[in-house]
Structure 1
Amino acid sequence: MRFAALRTLFAGRLPALVMLDLDGTLIDSVPDISRALDATLRARNLPAAGAARARRWVGRGSRQLLRDALAFGAALEPGQVDTQELERALGDYLARYLDDCTRDTRVLPGAAELIEALRGAGVKAACVTNKPLAIAERVLAHFFLPGRFDTVIGGDSGAAPKPDPAPLLAVMRRLAVEARETVMIGDSRHDVRAARAAGIAVIACANGYNHGEDIRGEGPDLVIDTLGELL
Protein backbone atom coordinates (compact mmCIF):
# COMPACT_ATOMS: atom_id res chain seq x y z
CA MET A 1 0.00 0.00 0.00
CA ARG A 2 1.36 3.41 -0.93
CA PHE A 3 2.05 5.81 1.96
CA ALA A 4 1.62 2.89 4.38
CA ALA A 5 3.62 4.54 7.17
CA LEU A 6 1.64 7.78 6.90
CA ARG A 7 -1.64 5.92 6.87
CA THR A 8 -0.83 4.17 10.16
CA LEU A 9 -1.00 7.58 11.87
CA PHE A 10 -4.39 8.45 10.37
CA ALA A 11 -6.48 5.29 10.67
CA GLY A 12 -5.72 4.16 7.13
CA ARG A 13 -6.26 7.55 5.52
CA LEU A 14 -3.82 10.17 4.29
CA PRO A 15 -3.39 13.44 6.16
CA ALA A 16 -4.80 16.56 4.57
CA LEU A 17 -1.61 18.51 5.30
CA VAL A 18 2.05 17.56 5.68
CA MET A 19 4.34 20.19 7.17
CA LEU A 20 8.07 19.70 6.72
CA ASP A 21 11.12 21.28 8.26
CA LEU A 22 13.85 22.33 5.82
CA ASP A 23 17.41 21.95 7.16
CA GLY A 24 18.19 18.33 8.00
CA THR A 25 14.79 17.16 6.76
CA LEU A 26 14.45 18.18 3.11
CA ILE A 27 18.03 19.31 2.54
CA ASP A 28 21.55 19.03 3.91
CA SER A 29 22.49 22.69 4.03
CA VAL A 30 25.43 22.55 6.45
CA PRO A 31 28.17 22.97 3.79
CA ASP A 32 26.76 26.32 2.64
CA ILE A 33 25.83 27.46 6.15
CA SER A 34 29.28 26.56 7.43
CA ARG A 35 31.04 28.42 4.62
CA ALA A 36 29.08 31.64 5.30
CA LEU A 37 29.49 31.24 9.05
CA ASP A 38 33.24 30.72 8.89
CA ALA A 39 33.67 33.71 6.56
CA THR A 40 31.74 35.83 9.06
CA LEU A 41 33.97 34.67 11.90
CA ARG A 42 37.21 35.17 9.97
CA ALA A 43 36.11 38.72 9.08
CA ARG A 44 36.19 39.36 12.82
CA ASN A 45 39.58 37.72 13.31
CA LEU A 46 37.93 34.78 15.05
CA PRO A 47 38.70 31.11 14.32
CA ALA A 48 36.47 29.23 11.89
CA ALA A 49 33.99 26.91 13.57
CA GLY A 50 33.94 24.21 10.89
CA ALA A 51 31.12 22.09 9.54
CA ALA A 52 30.91 19.65 12.46
CA ARG A 53 30.17 22.41 14.96
CA ALA A 54 27.78 24.16 12.57
CA ARG A 55 25.85 20.90 12.20
CA ARG A 56 25.27 20.81 15.97
CA TRP A 57 24.18 24.45 16.06
CA VAL A 58 21.75 24.45 13.12
CA GLY A 59 18.02 24.40 13.82
CA ARG A 60 17.40 27.10 16.40
CA GLY A 61 17.36 30.05 14.02
CA SER A 62 20.07 32.25 12.55
CA ARG A 63 20.42 34.56 15.56
CA GLN A 64 21.14 31.66 17.92
CA LEU A 65 23.49 30.14 15.33
CA LEU A 66 25.54 33.35 15.30
CA ARG A 67 25.41 33.61 19.08
CA ASP A 68 26.86 30.11 19.39
CA ALA A 69 29.50 30.78 16.73
CA LEU A 70 30.65 34.08 18.24
CA ALA A 71 30.78 32.51 21.69
CA PHE A 72 32.93 29.70 20.31
CA GLY A 73 35.25 32.07 18.49
CA ALA A 74 35.77 34.34 21.49
CA ALA A 75 35.79 31.55 24.12
CA LEU A 76 32.66 32.94 25.80
CA GLU A 77 29.38 31.55 27.04
CA PRO A 78 26.58 32.29 24.54
CA GLY A 79 24.93 34.63 27.02
CA GLN A 80 28.10 36.73 27.17
CA VAL A 81 28.07 37.69 23.49
CA ASP A 82 27.67 41.44 22.99
CA THR A 83 24.22 42.23 21.59
CA GLN A 84 25.38 44.88 19.12
CA GLU A 85 28.18 42.69 17.81
CA LEU A 86 25.71 39.83 17.46
CA GLU A 87 23.40 41.95 15.31
CA ARG A 88 26.29 43.14 13.11
CA ALA A 89 27.58 39.60 12.67
CA LEU A 90 24.08 38.33 11.96
CA GLY A 91 23.59 40.85 9.17
CA ASP A 92 26.97 39.93 7.69
CA TYR A 93 26.24 36.21 7.85
CA LEU A 94 22.77 36.50 6.33
CA ALA A 95 24.08 38.56 3.42
CA ARG A 96 26.83 36.04 2.74
CA TYR A 97 24.50 33.06 3.03
CA LEU A 98 21.70 34.54 0.91
CA ASP A 99 24.23 35.28 -1.82
CA ASP A 100 25.54 31.69 -1.91
CA CYS A 101 23.00 29.36 -0.31
CA THR A 102 22.71 26.54 -2.86
CA ARG A 103 26.25 25.78 -4.07
CA ASP A 104 26.94 22.70 -1.92
CA THR A 105 23.51 22.07 -0.43
CA ARG A 106 21.88 18.82 -1.52
CA VAL A 107 18.37 17.44 -1.41
CA LEU A 108 18.14 14.54 1.03
CA PRO A 109 17.14 11.07 -0.25
CA GLY A 110 13.44 10.69 -0.91
CA ALA A 111 12.58 14.36 -0.36
CA ALA A 112 11.73 15.36 -3.93
CA GLU A 113 9.93 12.08 -4.57
CA LEU A 114 7.81 12.44 -1.43
CA ILE A 115 6.79 16.01 -2.26
CA GLU A 116 5.80 15.01 -5.79
CA ALA A 117 3.84 12.00 -4.52
CA LEU A 118 1.99 14.06 -1.92
CA ARG A 119 1.00 16.62 -4.54
CA GLY A 120 -0.19 13.85 -6.81
CA ALA A 121 -2.33 12.43 -4.00
CA GLY A 122 -3.93 15.79 -3.27
CA VAL A 123 -2.18 16.30 0.06
CA LYS A 124 -1.21 19.87 0.91
CA ALA A 125 2.46 20.48 1.70
CA ALA A 126 4.03 23.31 3.68
CA CYS A 127 7.59 24.11 4.70
CA VAL A 128 7.98 25.41 8.26
CA THR A 129 11.55 26.41 9.04
CA ASN A 130 13.44 28.62 11.47
CA LYS A 131 15.60 29.75 8.53
CA PRO A 132 14.90 33.32 7.30
CA LEU A 133 12.08 33.28 4.76
CA ALA A 134 14.04 34.88 1.90
CA ILE A 135 16.74 32.22 2.13
CA ALA A 136 14.22 29.39 2.54
CA GLU A 137 12.30 30.49 -0.55
CA ARG A 138 15.48 30.79 -2.61
CA VAL A 139 16.60 27.31 -1.59
CA LEU A 140 13.20 25.76 -2.27
CA ALA A 141 12.92 27.47 -5.65
CA HIS A 142 16.35 26.12 -6.61
CA PHE A 143 15.80 22.50 -5.60
CA PHE A 144 12.06 21.87 -6.02
CA LEU A 145 9.60 22.42 -8.85
CA PRO A 146 7.36 25.51 -8.65
CA GLY A 147 4.12 25.23 -6.72
CA ARG A 148 5.10 22.18 -4.73
CA PHE A 149 4.56 23.91 -1.37
CA ASP A 150 1.22 25.51 -0.57
CA THR A 151 2.92 27.89 1.84
CA VAL A 152 6.31 28.53 3.42
CA ILE A 153 6.93 30.04 6.85
CA GLY A 154 10.36 31.18 7.97
CA GLY A 155 11.79 32.09 11.32
CA ASP A 156 11.22 35.77 10.56
CA SER A 157 7.68 35.45 9.17
CA GLY A 158 6.03 37.00 12.22
CA ALA A 159 5.20 33.98 14.33
CA ALA A 160 7.55 32.89 17.10
CA PRO A 161 9.97 30.24 15.80
CA LYS A 162 9.84 26.55 16.65
CA PRO A 163 9.64 25.03 19.27
CA ASP A 164 6.78 27.48 19.71
CA PRO A 165 3.71 26.00 17.97
CA ALA A 166 2.79 29.40 16.48
CA PRO A 167 4.16 28.80 12.95
CA LEU A 168 2.45 25.40 12.73
CA LEU A 169 -0.84 26.86 13.92
CA ALA A 170 -0.45 29.70 11.41
CA VAL A 171 -0.06 27.23 8.54
CA MET A 172 -3.15 25.28 9.59
CA ARG A 173 -5.19 28.48 9.76
CA ARG A 174 -3.85 29.68 6.42
CA LEU A 175 -4.67 26.41 4.68
CA ALA A 176 -7.91 25.75 6.62
CA VAL A 177 -6.82 22.33 7.88
CA GLU A 178 -7.50 20.91 11.34
CA ALA A 179 -4.86 19.53 13.68
CA ARG A 180 -6.30 16.01 13.50
CA GLU A 181 -5.63 16.02 9.73
CA THR A 182 -2.05 17.27 9.96
CA VAL A 183 1.43 15.83 10.48
CA MET A 184 4.77 17.53 11.03
CA ILE A 185 7.99 15.98 9.71
CA GLY A 186 11.29 17.23 11.09
CA ASP A 187 14.69 16.25 12.39
CA SER A 188 15.06 18.19 15.63
CA ARG A 189 13.57 18.39 19.10
CA HIS A 190 12.16 21.78 18.15
CA ASP A 191 10.05 20.15 15.45
CA VAL A 192 8.76 17.46 17.80
CA ARG A 193 8.00 19.90 20.61
CA ALA A 194 6.28 22.36 18.29
CA ALA A 195 4.11 19.59 16.88
CA ARG A 196 3.18 18.31 20.33
CA ALA A 197 2.25 21.82 21.45
CA ALA A 198 0.14 22.26 18.31
CA GLY A 199 -1.66 18.97 18.94
CA ILE A 200 -0.59 17.26 15.72
CA ALA A 201 1.15 14.01 14.81
CA VAL A 202 4.91 14.14 14.30
CA ILE A 203 7.43 12.08 12.34
CA ALA A 204 11.13 12.46 13.09
CA CYS A 205 14.06 11.97 10.71
CA ALA A 206 16.79 10.17 12.63
CA ASN A 207 19.58 11.12 10.22
CA GLY A 208 19.08 14.87 10.51
CA TYR A 209 20.87 17.33 12.78
CA ASN A 210 19.12 17.60 16.19
CA HIS A 211 22.15 19.19 17.84
CA GLY A 212 24.01 15.85 17.93
CA GLU A 213 21.34 14.12 20.03
CA ASP A 214 19.17 11.06 19.29
CA ILE A 215 15.75 12.30 18.22
CA ARG A 216 14.10 9.15 19.60
CA GLY A 217 14.44 10.62 23.06
CA GLU A 218 11.76 13.18 22.16
CA GLY A 219 9.13 10.48 21.64
CA PRO A 220 7.86 11.21 18.11
CA ASP A 221 5.02 9.12 16.72
CA LEU A 222 7.28 7.60 14.07
CA VAL A 223 11.02 7.65 13.37
CA ILE A 224 12.42 7.26 9.85
CA ASP A 225 15.89 7.34 8.33
CA THR A 226 14.85 8.86 4.99
CA LEU A 227 11.72 10.52 3.64
CA GLY A 228 11.52 7.79 1.03
CA GLU A 229 10.25 5.43 3.74
CA LEU A 230 6.98 7.36 3.70
CA LEU A 231 6.25 6.61 0.03
Structure 2
Amino acid sequence: MTAVKKELLIFDFDGTLIDSVPDLAQATNDMLSTLGKPTYPIDTIRNWVGNGSRMLVERALVGSVEVADGQLSKEDADHAEQVFFDAYAKVSGNNTVAYPNVDQGLKQLKQAGFTLALVTNKPIRFVPKILESFGWSDLFTEVLGGDSLPVKKPDPEPLRHVCRSLDIAPEHAVMIGDSKNDIFAGQNANIDTLGLSYGYNYGQDIRDLNPTMAFDDFQSLVDWVMSQYR
Protein backbone atom coordinates (compact mmCIF):
# COMPACT_ATOMS: atom_id res chain seq x y z
CA MET A 1 0.00 0.00 0.00
CA THR A 2 1.46 3.33 -1.05
CA ALA A 3 1.94 6.09 1.48
CA VAL A 4 2.91 8.70 -1.11
CA LYS A 5 0.85 11.88 -0.87
CA LYS A 6 -1.37 12.40 -3.90
CA GLU A 7 -2.24 15.72 -5.48
CA LEU A 8 -4.10 14.79 -8.67
CA LEU A 9 -7.21 12.62 -8.96
CA ILE A 10 -8.01 11.69 -12.58
CA PHE A 11 -11.57 10.45 -13.02
CA ASP A 12 -13.26 8.51 -15.76
CA PHE A 13 -16.76 9.79 -16.57
CA ASP A 14 -19.29 7.25 -17.87
CA GLY A 15 -19.74 4.36 -15.45
CA THR A 16 -17.68 6.11 -12.78
CA LEU A 17 -19.37 9.44 -12.09
CA ILE A 18 -22.46 9.15 -14.27
CA ASP A 19 -24.76 6.47 -15.61
CA SER A 20 -25.23 7.58 -19.21
CA VAL A 21 -26.36 4.24 -20.60
CA PRO A 22 -30.06 5.22 -20.93
CA ASP A 23 -29.13 8.08 -23.28
CA LEU A 24 -26.43 6.10 -25.09
CA ALA A 25 -28.82 3.20 -25.60
CA GLN A 26 -31.54 5.46 -26.98
CA ALA A 27 -29.10 7.10 -29.39
CA THR A 28 -27.73 3.71 -30.43
CA ASN A 29 -31.19 2.33 -31.14
CA ASP A 30 -32.20 5.53 -32.94
CA MET A 31 -29.13 5.09 -35.14
CA LEU A 32 -29.94 1.45 -35.81
CA SER A 33 -33.55 2.29 -36.66
CA THR A 34 -32.44 5.02 -39.04
CA LEU A 35 -30.17 2.51 -40.77
CA GLY A 36 -32.92 -0.11 -40.93
CA LYS A 37 -31.18 -2.48 -38.53
CA PRO A 38 -32.56 -4.34 -35.48
CA THR A 39 -32.44 -2.60 -32.10
CA TYR A 40 -31.28 -4.03 -28.78
CA PRO A 41 -32.30 -3.98 -25.11
CA ILE A 42 -30.56 -1.50 -22.85
CA ASP A 43 -28.83 -4.29 -20.89
CA THR A 44 -27.20 -5.54 -24.08
CA ILE A 45 -26.00 -2.09 -25.09
CA ARG A 46 -24.66 -1.51 -21.55
CA ASN A 47 -22.02 -4.16 -22.24
CA TRP A 48 -20.86 -2.30 -25.36
CA VAL A 49 -20.07 0.99 -23.61
CA GLY A 50 -16.63 2.11 -22.49
CA ASN A 51 -14.32 2.21 -25.49
CA GLY A 52 -15.65 5.38 -27.07
CA SER A 53 -18.36 6.11 -29.61
CA ARG A 54 -16.74 4.40 -32.59
CA MET A 55 -16.49 1.05 -30.84
CA LEU A 56 -20.04 1.36 -29.49
CA VAL A 57 -21.32 2.00 -33.02
CA GLU A 58 -19.36 -0.91 -34.48
CA ARG A 59 -20.53 -3.28 -31.74
CA ALA A 60 -24.13 -2.25 -32.37
CA LEU A 61 -23.79 -2.76 -36.11
CA VAL A 62 -22.49 -6.32 -35.71
CA GLY A 63 -24.56 -7.08 -32.60
CA SER A 64 -21.62 -8.19 -30.50
CA VAL A 65 -18.96 -6.88 -28.16
CA GLU A 66 -16.45 -8.70 -30.38
CA VAL A 67 -16.01 -6.78 -33.64
CA ALA A 68 -14.42 -8.99 -36.27
CA ASP A 69 -12.03 -7.34 -38.70
CA GLY A 70 -13.49 -6.88 -42.14
CA GLN A 71 -17.15 -7.06 -41.11
CA LEU A 72 -17.63 -3.33 -41.59
CA SER A 73 -16.31 -1.00 -44.23
CA LYS A 74 -14.83 2.28 -43.03
CA GLU A 75 -17.44 4.14 -45.05
CA ASP A 76 -20.34 2.29 -43.38
CA ALA A 77 -18.87 2.80 -39.93
CA ASP A 78 -18.17 6.49 -40.58
CA HIS A 79 -21.75 7.05 -41.74
CA ALA A 80 -23.24 5.13 -38.82
CA GLU A 81 -21.11 7.05 -36.33
CA GLN A 82 -22.32 10.36 -37.71
CA VAL A 83 -25.93 9.16 -37.45
CA PHE A 84 -25.19 8.17 -33.85
CA PHE A 85 -23.67 11.59 -33.08
CA ASP A 86 -26.75 13.32 -34.46
CA ALA A 87 -29.02 11.11 -32.36
CA TYR A 88 -26.95 11.46 -29.19
CA ALA A 89 -26.80 15.25 -29.53
CA LYS A 90 -30.59 15.28 -29.24
CA VAL A 91 -30.83 13.10 -26.12
CA SER A 92 -27.48 13.61 -24.35
CA GLY A 93 -28.11 14.34 -20.68
CA ASN A 94 -31.86 13.74 -20.78
CA ASN A 95 -31.74 10.56 -18.69
CA THR A 96 -28.13 10.62 -17.53
CA VAL A 97 -27.81 10.56 -13.73
CA ALA A 98 -24.96 10.86 -11.26
CA TYR A 99 -24.21 7.78 -9.19
CA PRO A 100 -25.00 8.02 -5.47
CA ASN A 101 -22.74 10.34 -3.43
CA VAL A 102 -20.72 11.46 -6.48
CA ASP A 103 -21.78 15.10 -6.33
CA GLN A 104 -21.03 15.43 -2.63
CA GLY A 105 -17.89 13.30 -2.92
CA LEU A 106 -16.32 15.32 -5.73
CA LYS A 107 -16.90 18.55 -3.83
CA GLN A 108 -15.47 17.01 -0.67
CA LEU A 109 -12.29 15.99 -2.50
CA LYS A 110 -11.96 19.40 -4.16
CA GLN A 111 -12.40 21.19 -0.84
CA ALA A 112 -9.76 18.91 0.68
CA GLY A 113 -7.22 20.34 -1.76
CA PHE A 114 -7.01 17.66 -4.44
CA THR A 115 -6.75 18.72 -8.08
CA LEU A 116 -9.46 16.95 -10.08
CA ALA A 117 -9.20 16.04 -13.76
CA LEU A 118 -11.52 14.19 -16.11
CA VAL A 119 -10.30 11.78 -18.79
CA THR A 120 -13.11 10.12 -20.70
CA ASN A 121 -13.37 8.17 -23.95
CA LYS A 122 -16.59 10.06 -24.71
CA PRO A 123 -16.17 12.53 -27.60
CA ILE A 124 -15.27 15.88 -26.08
CA ARG A 125 -18.14 17.70 -27.82
CA PHE A 126 -20.65 16.02 -25.49
CA VAL A 127 -18.77 16.54 -22.23
CA PRO A 128 -19.25 20.26 -21.35
CA LYS A 129 -23.05 20.11 -21.56
CA ILE A 130 -23.21 17.15 -19.18
CA LEU A 131 -20.72 18.69 -16.75
CA GLU A 132 -22.71 21.89 -16.74
CA SER A 133 -25.97 20.06 -16.11
CA PHE A 134 -24.56 18.66 -12.87
CA GLY A 135 -22.84 21.88 -11.86
CA TRP A 136 -19.41 20.28 -12.12
CA SER A 137 -17.76 22.50 -14.73
CA ASP A 138 -15.61 24.30 -12.14
CA LEU A 139 -14.56 21.15 -10.29
CA PHE A 140 -12.20 19.83 -12.97
CA THR A 141 -8.97 21.63 -13.77
CA GLU A 142 -8.35 19.56 -16.91
CA VAL A 143 -10.87 17.72 -19.13
CA LEU A 144 -9.96 15.37 -22.00
CA GLY A 145 -12.35 13.53 -24.31
CA GLY A 146 -11.74 10.43 -26.35
CA ASP A 147 -10.87 12.52 -29.39
CA SER A 148 -8.88 15.24 -27.62
CA LEU A 149 -5.63 13.41 -28.41
CA PRO A 150 -4.68 10.92 -31.15
CA VAL A 151 -5.03 8.07 -28.62
CA LYS A 152 -7.42 7.27 -25.79
CA LYS A 153 -7.56 4.94 -22.79
CA PRO A 154 -6.27 2.26 -22.26
CA ASP A 155 -3.30 4.06 -23.81
CA PRO A 156 -1.52 5.85 -20.94
CA GLU A 157 -0.82 9.03 -22.93
CA PRO A 158 -4.01 10.90 -21.88
CA LEU A 159 -3.03 10.44 -18.24
CA ARG A 160 0.56 11.46 -18.91
CA HIS A 161 -0.71 14.47 -20.85
CA VAL A 162 -2.76 15.62 -17.87
CA CYS A 163 0.19 15.19 -15.52
CA ARG A 164 2.43 17.21 -17.83
CA SER A 165 -0.19 19.92 -18.35
CA LEU A 166 -0.66 20.36 -14.61
CA ASP A 167 3.04 19.87 -13.79
CA ILE A 168 2.26 17.06 -11.37
CA ALA A 169 4.50 13.99 -11.26
CA PRO A 170 2.76 10.67 -12.06
CA GLU A 171 3.62 9.30 -8.63
CA HIS A 172 1.40 12.02 -7.16
CA ALA A 173 -1.55 11.12 -9.40
CA VAL A 174 -4.34 8.52 -9.19
CA MET A 175 -6.58 7.11 -11.93
CA ILE A 176 -10.14 6.36 -10.81
CA GLY A 177 -12.49 4.39 -13.03
CA ASP A 178 -14.86 1.50 -13.57
CA SER A 179 -13.38 -0.44 -16.49
CA LYS A 180 -10.28 -2.18 -17.73
CA ASN A 181 -9.57 0.83 -19.96
CA ASP A 182 -9.11 2.98 -16.85
CA ILE A 183 -7.12 0.44 -14.86
CA PHE A 184 -4.83 -0.47 -17.76
CA ALA A 185 -4.25 3.20 -18.61
CA GLY A 186 -3.25 3.91 -15.02
CA GLN A 187 -1.06 0.84 -14.73
CA ASN A 188 0.62 1.64 -18.06
CA ALA A 189 1.27 5.19 -16.82
CA ASN A 190 2.73 3.81 -13.56
CA ILE A 191 0.19 5.58 -11.37
CA ASP A 192 -2.10 4.22 -8.66
CA THR A 193 -5.49 2.95 -9.83
CA LEU A 194 -8.74 2.89 -7.88
CA GLY A 195 -11.55 0.77 -9.29
CA LEU A 196 -15.31 1.07 -8.87
CA SER A 197 -17.32 -2.09 -9.28
CA TYR A 198 -20.69 -0.66 -10.30
CA GLY A 199 -19.91 0.68 -13.77
CA TYR A 200 -19.36 -0.72 -17.26
CA ASN A 201 -16.67 -3.40 -17.34
CA TYR A 202 -18.09 -5.91 -19.83
CA GLY A 203 -19.27 -8.23 -17.08
CA GLN A 204 -15.82 -8.60 -15.53
CA ASP A 205 -15.13 -7.90 -11.84
CA ILE A 206 -12.93 -4.80 -11.63
CA ARG A 207 -10.94 -6.53 -8.89
CA ASP A 208 -9.70 -9.11 -11.41
CA LEU A 209 -7.60 -6.34 -12.97
CA ASN A 210 -5.60 -5.76 -9.77
CA PRO A 211 -6.21 -2.07 -9.15
CA THR A 212 -4.46 -0.54 -6.16
CA MET A 213 -7.83 -0.69 -4.38
CA ALA A 214 -11.43 -1.31 -5.42
CA PHE A 215 -14.73 -0.08 -3.99
CA ASP A 216 -18.41 -0.88 -4.39
CA ASP A 217 -19.66 2.67 -3.87
CA PHE A 218 -18.30 6.17 -4.41
CA GLN A 219 -18.44 7.33 -0.79
CA SER A 220 -16.25 4.43 0.31
CA LEU A 221 -13.70 5.51 -2.29
CA VAL A 222 -13.83 9.12 -1.10
CA ASP A 223 -13.39 8.10 2.54
CA TRP A 224 -10.40 5.91 1.64
CA VAL A 225 -8.75 8.64 -0.47
CA MET A 226 -9.22 11.14 2.34
CA SER A 227 -7.59 8.79 4.84
CA GLN A 228 -4.75 7.44 2.69
CA TYR A 229 -3.68 10.09 0.20
CA ARG A 230 -3.66 13.40 2.09
Q: Same fold (TM over 0.5)?
A: yes
Distance 1:125 1:79 in 2: 40
Equivalence for 1:178: 169
Equivalence for 2:33: 42
Which of 108, 111, 114 in structure 1 is aligned with 2:102?
A: 111
Which of 3, 24, 40 in structure 2 is aligned with 1:10?
A: 3
Instruction: Specify the SS of the correspondent of 1:150.
Output: strand
Whether 1:147 and 2:138 are equivalent positions in the alignment is yes
After TM superposition, list the pairs within 5 Å mapping 1:62-211 onto structure 2. Answer: 62-72=53-63, 77=68, 79-211=70-202
Q: TM-score, normalised by structure 2?
A: 0.91
Following superposition, the deviation at residue 134 of structure 1 comes to 1.1
Following superposition, the deviation at residue 99 of structure 1 comes to 2.4
Instruction: Specify the SS of the correspondent of 1:177.
Output: coil
| Alpha carbons of structure 1 residues 225 and 141: separation in structure 2 relative to 1, 3 Å | same
Equivalence for 1:226: 217
Instruction: Specify the SS of the correspondent of 2:127.
Output: helix
Tell me if the contact between 2:124 and 2:146 (Cα under 8 Å) persists in the aligned partners: yes
Distance 1:109 1:77 in 2: 37
Whether 1:216 and 2:202 are equivalent positions in the alignment is no
Distance 1:159 1:83 in 2: 18
Distance 1:10 1:88 in 2: 49
| RMSD of aligned Cα (Å) | 1.5
Equivalence for 1:22: 13
**Stretches (4+) displaced over 3 A:** 8-11, 76-79
Tell me if the contact between 1:58 and 1:65 (Cα under 8 Å) persists in the aligned partners: yes
Tell me if the contact between 1:137 and 1:152 (Cα under 8 Å) persists in the aligned partners: no
Following superposition, the deviation at residue 151 of structure 1 comes to 1.0
Distance 2:152 2:13 in 1: 13
Tell me if the contact between 1:19 and 1:128 (Cα under 8 Å) persists in the aligned partners: yes
Letter of the 1:138 partner, please give it. K
Following superposition, the deviation at residue 50 of structure 1 comes to 2.1
Tell me if the contact between 1:71 and 1:78 (Cα under 8 Å) persists in the aligned partners: no
Q: TM-score, normalised by structure 1?
A: 0.91
Distance 1:135 1:120 in 2: 27
What is the aligned length? 220
| Alpha carbons of structure 1 residues 33 and 78: separation in structure 2 relative to 1, 3 Å | farther
Tell me if the contact between 1:159 and 1:166 (Cα under 8 Å) persists in the aligned partners: no
**Structure 2: gaps (5+ residues):** 224-230
| Alpha carbons of structure 1 residues 159 and 18: separation in structure 2 relative to 1, 3 Å | farther
Tell me if the contact between 1:16 and 1:177 (Cα under 8 Å) persists in the aligned partners: yes
Tell me if the contact between 2:128 and 2:137 (Cα under 8 Å) persists in the aligned partners: no
**Structure 1: gaps (5+ residues):** 1-7
Letter of the 1:111 partner, please give it. V
Instruction: Specify the SS of the correspondent of 2:9.
Output: strand
Following superposition, the deviation at residue 98 of structure 1 comes to 2.0
Tell me if the contact between 1:61 and 1:130 (Cα under 8 Å) persists in the aligned partners: yes
Equivalence for 1:53: 44
Letter of the 1:98 partner, please give it. A
